[in-house]
Amino acid sequence: MSVLPTEQGMNTAKVQTDVYDEKYEVDLDSGTSDYVGNQERPSFYADGAKYWEGIEPTIEGMLGGFAQLSDIDVGASRRFLKEFCEKRQHPTGTLRALDCGSGIGRVTKMMLSHIFNEVDMLEQNQQFLDKADDYLGECRHKVGRKICSGLQSFIPDPQRPYDVIWVQWVTGHLTDTDFVEFLRNAANGLRENGLICVKDNLSSCSVEMDNKDSSVTRPRSLVLEIFRKANLRLVGERKQIRFPKGLYEVKMFALKPKKTEVALSE
């Protein structure tokens, strides 16, 4: 799937080519693809974890050889998020955020810590979390908890709600079923008027499987169907701009639980 297969993981931008390991058509009626049936769930997650164990805990490692895109990426994310935290009639709060698939804390340091009073980091690779303080430097005091867990196993603490749950370049490491379940659990961990933001690569029309890092790239149609199944409402969508040609399209999606939207409209 990538022209730089030894350097790139799902936790990054990816080059889009006509070369990929497997391609699966999406059944829009059911909202699912058949790749899960061709990949046993335990090995799907174990292979992904093993891949990241071999990645250096650096920005270059986190972005799979695309460290030069970090400022562009973060700038767009910050502008997108501030629309909800600053410019709405009912702005999203800024007390606490969760950085999902945080790695060593790139998004935490460069974006979330500048908006929120406190940021929790969720990352399945303990090595990355262990290196986080060194990378975070002066902003490490903004980090509340470092949670070592995969998204498929994460259950938010009901006593520790989040205003924003930021999920970037990591959903491709979830099966469709676990993606839906993660979003449902995440929604239960939101403070009133809270927001889930998903930022990820999108394929053109089919699910594309990368066996090297055990990840998938989904088309927008399937991603939207997953949001629907998780009982989430799309309240914002924006395309990442200024990325080099040849990369997958990257989009940001802002989501709220449907019940929250009903309450706000009453």
Binding residue positions for S-adenosyl-L-methionine: 101, 106, 151-152, 168
CA distance 213 to 48: 5
133 residue type, one letter = D
Q: Kind and range of the H or E element at 132?
A: helix 126-136
Name the residue among 248, 254, 226, 203 with its Cα closest to residue 12: 248
Strands (DSSP E) along the chain, which ranges? 22-24, 26-27, 32-33, 96-100, 118-123, 143-148, 162-168, 190-202, 207-210, 215-217, 232-239, 249-257
CA distance 2 to 6: 9
Which residue numbers belong to the known binding site? 101, 106, 151-152, 168
69: which residues sit within 8 A by CB, 6+ positions away?
13, 63, 243, 244
CB 81 within 8 A of CB 115: yes
